[in-house]
Amino acid sequence: MTSKERLNGRTALVTGGSRGIGAATALRLAREGADVALTYVNGKEAAEAVVRDVEALGRRAVALRADAADAAETADAVRRAAGELGRLDVLVNNAGAGVLGPLESLSLADVDRVLAVNVRGAFLAARSAAAVMGAGGRIITIGSCVTARVPGPGATLYTMSKSALIGLTKALARELAGRGVTANIVHPGPTDTDMNPADGPYAADQAAMTALGRYGTADEVASMVTFLAGPEAAYVTGAEFSVDGGHAA
């Protein structure tokens, strides 16, 4: 089986797939044979560019506008993805929001938004996906290295939201095992994206916190996601995978 054939005939939905880790994951899945749907909120042009890149690889692709904070839109995105692609085999819960700052600076609106996107959105997408997935389905959630090691103050809300996804993943693994659906979580470390560029003002400090002393790339994270989406990971569920350059070492 060649790399391109590993996911041949499979379909995937990547939430927040218009940029960064989400876009890299959509492209990596497509390179290995999957048809891909992706969601976006404001980045329509970026999402359409990812669709064109996926189609250039000979795979089908569709961009769906859906805010992960909106319960109805989240469920509808899963339904539309399965409808457009004919089925749904893989869900990558990648959409996320982050608000950093001291406890006293965080408004109730900040709390509600971060938890709605990072926790409720992931739960609802997983529930909707599980309803349409058959045996061999995969639910892969993007967590964060801060769930293992919080390097400094100001990340309480974000860390809380990402830590909740570990519990979600382990519970999904137990609940869905009888259907042949697995659930795993990937924890990226500092990763070079437009939201956290490797040449940004805080990059040197973040890189220094890793054992390797550098940022990761979005494709390095996507490679782990793609492994978990493939047939070799059939016996892997309820597990955490760090792609963090040794941030937690």
Q: Which of 40, 158, 202, 235 is catalytic?
A: 158
Q: What is the rounded distance in angstroms from the CA atom of residue 208 to the CA atom of residue 243?
A: 16
State the helix-helix crossing angle for 20-31 and 44-56, rounded to 10 degrees.
Answer: 20
Q: What is the rounded distance in angstroms from the CA atom of residue 90 to the CA atom of residue 60?
A: 15
Q: What is the rounded distance in angstroms from the CA atom of residue 165 to the CA atom of residue 144?
A: 10
Q: What is the rounded distance in angstroms from the CA atom of residue 215 to the CA atom of residue 55?
A: 29
Q: What is the rounded distance in angstroms from the CA atom of residue 229 to the CA atom of residue 231?
A: 7
Q: Which residues contact 248 (CB under 8 A, 6 or more apart)?
A: 145, 148, 149, 187, 242
Q: Is 158 a catalytic residue?
A: yes
Active site residues: 158
